[in-house]
Amino acid sequence: MEYNFRDIEQKWQAYWKNNNTYKTEIDPAKPKYYVLDMFPYPSGAGLHVGHPLGYIASDIFSRYKRLQGFNVLHPMGYDAYGLPAEQYAIQTGQHPAVTTKINIARYREQLEKIGFCYDWDREIRTCEPDYYHWTQWAFVQMFNHYFNTKLQKAQPISGLVKAFETVGTEGIQASCTEELNFTSTEWKAKSEKDQQEILLNYRIAYLADLKVNWCPALGTVLANDEVSEGLSVRGGHPVEQRVMRQWSLRVSAYAQRLLDGLSTIDWTESLTETQKNWIGRSEGAELRFDIKGQDFNFEVFTTRADTIYGVTFMVLAPESELVKQVTTPEQASEVEAYLDATKKRTERERLADRRVTGVFSGSYAINPVSGTEIPIWISDYVLAGYGTGAIMAVPAHDNRDYAFAKHFNLPIIPLIEGCDVSEESLDAKEGIMMNSGFLNGLTVKEAIAKAKEYIAEKQLGRVKVNFRLRDAIFSRQRYWGEPFPVYYKEGMPYMLDESKLPLELPEIDKFLPTEKGEPPLGRAKNWETQDHFPLELCTMPGFAGSSAYYLRYMDPKNDKALVSPEANQYWRNVDLYIGGTEHATGHLVYSRFWNKFLFDLGIICEDEPFKKLINQGMIQGRSNFVYRIKDTNTFVSLNLKDKYETTQLHVDVNIVSNDILDTEKFKNWLPDYANAEFILEDGKYICGWAVEKMSKSMYNVVNPDDIVEKYGADTLRLYEMFLGPLEQSKPWDTNGIDGVHRFLKRLWSLFYKDGNLLVSDETPTADELKILHKTIKKITFDIENFSYNTSVSAFMICVNELFTLKCSKRGILEPLSILLAPFAPHVAEELFYVLGNEGTVCDAIFPVCNEEYLKESAIKYPISFNGKVRFMLELPADMSKEDVEKAALANELTIKQLDGNSPKKVIVVPGKIVNIVL
RNA sequence: GCCCGGAUGGUGGAAUGGUAGACACGAAGGACUUAAAAUCCUUUGGCUUCACGGCUGUGCGGGUUCAAGUCCCGCUUCGGGUACCA
């Protein structure tokens, strides 16, 4: 009987479905384990072979944990809202809900073919009302809470209102957009509208006028992580800065907790680093500068308080509100012109062209420490959104200030002994201070500390921590997203009552903005409350639905709550999360924020959502090339191409095998090539190759369905793991897949020969047991360490050795089939079944290594001289160190090597090696 | 610029400081076959030797060590992230 993977895989996939093998329920008798994949966006292109890499890895771990007796939660769903479906809808008129449904069906079909152990009863789709009900609900909670900076947690906004009523802003410790000051009397005197406006300054979900990334091509604003180098991450369209009234989430309030939490979770170092940089904590001082001849002052943030004596000018961001106040009448027209010019420049232009630009405001500030007068300039190299939007410039020790000073011919005062600032600034925090009054003679490090102390003591400012992390802009002027549960009364936003949730996405006639330029929801009929208050026209961004989806899997059908306390307390949080690094500063920040917020509310019991996180590498494409001789339809094989003048052309990798082109398929591939002729080498056409991004245009996309069709799901699973370390990026190269398939056939041949079952009940020999237990040990270790490529090797070695011994004994093959089940579940099920077992291999018990079987009676010692191995010497395993040394020295080959000399030293590592130093 | 991660045969890759190249692909040779496929066996880092063997070898240059792909220092180079963040 042949290894008929098609029948086997069909049979067991049907069995799993019919027997609910992967249905998961709360079971207090068992320890839980939650394994999660980053759920996919169901694109129209379907899955390519890169997608399953992480899914296979998590599937192996899920199955392994189950075999070890854990109650494993391993769900899958779809991140179903998003731009591509809507762009497609604009082009074709096809409703995004329809295309999304089709795409999901395709994904599901592809995923099922690979044999994952997902509990499909828990599937979620972010675009379904019973799911986004809870996205909207969470938003309402964020609106109703503020962040208490003293408690470092979210608190009901009602508490803040109470405080305003009794003491005003006195002693308020709340994260806010801007510092406000008013008394309780003032608060009470305000209109409802004004009070609401003030509360927006504190709410965790708030509406505010913000400088945002506006993408005209997509017709929407984007969050910081959705923009890279002035272009939208999706589509690569230019992005410009605009001030718009937008919903935002006060993620920045959680900056410190997001940072602290990183040390409590087991993520890769590179990922925690990326998040740390994104959060960007910097410790420094906020320093107050008076303005000459005026009765107001302003503050700057600096991490280099030690350089206060080197400040030769100040710079304000063009958007800073101070600009108006400091501009003198004489400079007004020049400043005006500059502001106009900068406004016209897009973010991209500013980044591409780093010319030094700026204008003098006409005013002078007073150095609070030295008392000197320093000019105040305006320049776009200072960002309005960071710190106070104003800086003190120290050209000698900051390269940006240096460039500015050189350009406008401003003084440069060096502050470090022996430094040369004639060509460039000295930015490093090292050296001994000079020209710095009370700081002279100190090291930079000491000076920073002393200066901060001084500033605090003299009340010139205060010690301050700044974060780079910004609030997340939460409005999108698009259709295909969650509607906000928001209506407007006198222009102020109010939340819908929870009983009105979910607020369902309405139908519209066209997926485009209205003639008035409103978002697409402006087209919806009766888009208002029962009392005729208008509803919000924006929808939520992509990360809204993905921020708490892992919680919903715990209790996906609950219509009373996001997750019940029982389900949450049992499943707690994700034990193992596998996905790509591209979410490092987006989803993985927002999810942690969202989780912490719900934790503050007592809805969930864990402060961090993902305990352990592994990033699978990207699967790159491996493109193949053919070489057409110029002006002909003749193609020349790779190693002969240099003899001709050729053009390199991409060829579909699916008609190439082991870099050999199927010339007949090539002729049928594209009409142009129907009459192609070939110059072959050794009767074959060899293609060139290169590693490129996997994309349609490179003709290097490989569909997992094709691999499953040709080799079976088990081969695909094993091969994807065999390709290399999980976390490493690697090209998809089908060249090695035959070896993995051969392995399965060889395994099969231990069970069957010529259609007869070979399995016997004979007692296994010591050698056979050693092979088995060596493999158990290795596989267990490798799974725990996610070293799946070496596991596959270990299986191959095991089967090769059993094959050599012609071992078909049940006592070996049965544990082996269980061991293999996480990796190749279909064939494992079948083999487990033919061995006479009932039910599924999923309910078996993972074999445990018995060290007794691994004991060796003899060890082959490599005998090395000065570290170079010269020969092997077999000695009893229990021989003492001294006896090993004696035996090694007494050996005639040693005597020959020594050549009459006596060794200087002999190193014996018992069980390992002998090194003789000459 | 800054922060991470790499660099090992023709290819993918393996190697708790202890025999570098496991396992696999590819290639070469052979068996079976009318033939092909499939399967099985042998060889396969480089140089050298009839052979035993020897020399050399993990991007480059140093160092630590009885022993270095592995640890340390200094480079080269390729990926990834991030950036007027004061």
- Closest by Cα among A14, A13, A52, A25 to A705: A52
From the Cβ of A1, is strand B under 7 Å away? no
Phi, psi torsion values for A759, nearest 5 degrees: -60, 130
Q: What CATH code is carried by the domain that includes residue A864?
A: 3.10.20.590
d(CA A66, CA A842): 7
The answer to whether position A753 is within a domain reads no
Note the CA–C1' distance, A743 to B40, in angstroms: 14
Q: Answer for the pair A603, A562: CB distance below 8 angstroms, yes or no.
A: yes
DSSP-derived letter for residue A561 is S
From the Cβ of A269, is strand B under 7 Å away? yes
Q: Say which nucleotide is closest to residue A735, CA to C1' distance.
A: B25
Give residue A351's pLDDT: 61
Same domain, A286 and A434: yes
d(CA A177, CA A194): 16
CA A213 to chain centre: 22
Q: CB within 8 A of A86, min separation 6: which ones?
A: A96, A478, A479, A480, A511
The answer to whether position A572 is within a domain reads yes
From the Cβ of A912, is strand B under 7 Å away? yes
Q: CB within 8 A of A814, min separation 6: which ones?
A: A832, A835, A837
Residue type, A6: R
The answer to whether position A796 is within a domain reads no
Same domain, A288 and A358: yes
d(CA A451, CA A303): 11
- Say if residue A878's pLDDT is above 90: no
Note the CA–C1' distance, A890 to B9, in angstroms: 37
Give residue A386's pLDDT: 83
CA A201 to chain centre: 31
From the Cβ of A282, is strand B under 7 Å away? yes
Residue with the bigger pLDDT between A182 and A584: it is A182
Domains held by chain A: number: 5
Q: Say which nucleotide is closest to residue A738, CA to C1' distance.
A: B25
| Residues of chain A (158-217) having a beta carbon less than 7 angstroms from strand B | none
Write out pLDDT tens, residues A62-105: 999 999 999 999 999 999 998 888 888 888 889 999 999 999 99
Note the CA–C1' distance, A742 to B30, in angstroms: 20
The answer to whether position A443 is within a domain reads yes
What average pLDDT does the structure give for chain A? 90
Torsion of CA A159, A160, A163, A168, to 10 degrees: -170
From the Cβ of A407, is strand B under 7 Å away? no
Same domain, A292 and A430: yes
Note the CA–C1' distance, A916 to B56, in angstroms: 22
| Residues of chain A (643-682) having a beta carbon less than 7 angstroms from strand B | 658, 682
Three-state secondary structure call for residue A376? strand
Q: CB within 8 A of A366, min separation 6: which ones?
A: A289, A290, A291, A292, A372, A373, A374
pLDDT band at A121 (very low <50, low <70, confident <90, very high): very high
Same domain, A344 and A430: yes
From the Cβ of A725, is strand B under 7 Å away? yes
Note the CA–C1' distance, A795 to B22, in angstroms: 12
DSSP-derived letter for residue A289 is E
- Say if residue A763's pLDDT is above 70: yes
Same domain, A549 and A507: no
d(CA A728, CA A714): 22
d(CA A769, CA A173): 67
Give residue A350's pLDDT: 65
Q: Answer with the one of A567, A592, A615 that is the final residue of a domain.
A: A615
Give residue A2's pLDDT: 82
Same domain, A559 and A509: no
Give residue A349's pLDDT: 65
d(CA A436, CA A455): 14
Same domain, A311 and A393: yes
From the Cβ of A381, is strand B under 7 Å away? yes
Name, of A414-423, A467-476, A500-509, A622-631, the range with top average pLDDT. Answer: A500-509
Q: Say which nucleotide is closest to residue A658, CA to C1' distance.
A: B26
Write out pLDDT tens, residues A505-543: 999 998 988 888 889 999 999 999 999 999 999 999 999
Same domain, A231 and A302: no
Q: Answer with the one of A651, A679, A701 that is the final residue of a domain.
A: A701
Give residue A125's pLDDT: 97
Same domain, A657 and A671: yes
Three-state secondary structure call for residue A91? helix
- A195: its two tokens: 């009070």
- A590: its two tokens: 């927002």
Q: Answer for the pair A779, A836: CB distance below 8 angstroms, yes or no.
A: no
Q: Answer with the one of A588, A615, A642 that is the final residue of a domain.
A: A615
Q: What percent of chain A has pLDDT over 70?
A: 99
Report chain B positions within 7 A of protein CB atoms: 3-5, 11-16, 18-20, 22-28, 38-41, 54-55, 66-68, 79-86
Note the CA–C1' distance, A654 to B76, in angstroms: 38
Note the CA–C1' distance, A617 to B77, in angstroms: 21
| Residues of chain A (586-645) having a beta carbon less than 7 angstroms from strand B | none
| Residues of chain A (285-344) having a beta carbon less than 7 angstroms from strand B | 301-304, 317
Q: Say which nucleotide is closest to residue A389, CA to C1' distance.
A: B86
From the Cβ of A740, is strand B under 7 Å away? yes
- The mean pLDDT value for A650-671 works out to 84
Note the CA–C1' distance, A723 to B16, in angstroms: 24
Q: What CATH code is carried by the domain that includes residue A370?
A: 3.90.740.10
Note the CA–C1' distance, A42 to B61, in angstroms: 52
Same domain, A123 and A155: no
The answer to whether position A761 is within a domain reads no
pLDDT band at A488 (very low <50, low <70, confident <90, very high): very high
The answer to whether position A766 is within a domain reads no
From the Cβ of A903, is strand B under 7 Å away? no
The answer to whether position A735 is within a domain reads no
Q: What CATH code is carried by the domain that includes residue A567?
A: 3.40.50.620
Cα dihedral across residues A243, A190, A175, A607: positive or negative: negative
pLDDT band at A480 (very low <50, low <70, confident <90, very high): very high
From the Cβ of A280, is strand B under 7 Å away? yes
- Closest by Cα among A376, A365, A363 to A328: A363
- Closest by Cα among A594, A592, A613 to A270: A613
From the Cβ of A774, is strand B under 7 Å away? no
Q: Exposed, middle or buried by CB within 10 Å (0-12, 13-18, 19+), for A11?
A: middle
Note the CA–C1' distance, A675 to B85, in angstroms: 61
Q: Answer for the pair A723, A789: CB distance below 8 angstroms, yes or no.
A: yes
Write out pLDDT tens, residues A281-309: 888 889 999 998 888 889 999 989 899 99
User: 3-state DSSP: chain A helix, strand, coil percent, rounded to 5?
Assistant: 40, 20, 40
Q: What's the Cα-to-Cα distance from A514 to each of A477, A507, A510, A537, A777, rounded to whole Å?
A: 11, 14, 9, 11, 65
Residue with the bigger pLDDT between A570 and A691: it is A570
From the Cβ of A506, is strand B under 7 Å away? no
| Residues of chain A (44-103) having a beta carbon less than 7 angstroms from strand B | none
Same domain, A672 and A603: no
From the Cβ of A411, is strand B under 7 Å away? no
Q: Say which nucleotide is closest to residue A303, CA to C1' distance.
A: B86
Same domain, A574 and A642: no
Note the CA–C1' distance, A270 to B80, in angstroms: 10
Note the CA–C1' distance, A697 to B77, in angstroms: 29
- The mean pLDDT value for A640-667 works out to 83
Comparing A107-116, A479-488, A700-709, which segment has the lowest mean pLDDT?
A700-709
Instruction: For residue A408, list its beta bridge partners.
Output: none
| Residues of chain A (678-707) having a beta carbon less than 7 angstroms from strand B | 682
From the Cβ of A431, is strand B under 7 Å away? no
| Residues of chain A (527-586) having a beta carbon less than 7 angstroms from strand B | 581-582, 584-585
The answer to whether position A450 is within a domain reads yes
DSSP state string for A580-634: -GGGTTTHHHHHHHHHHHHHHTTSSS-S-SEEEEEEPPPEEEEEEEEEEETTSSE
Q: Say which nucleotide is closest to residue A693, CA to C1' distance.
A: B79
Domain assignment of residue A555, given as a range: 33-128+544-615
From the Cβ of A745, is strand B under 7 Å away? yes
- Say if residue A898's pLDDT is above 70: yes
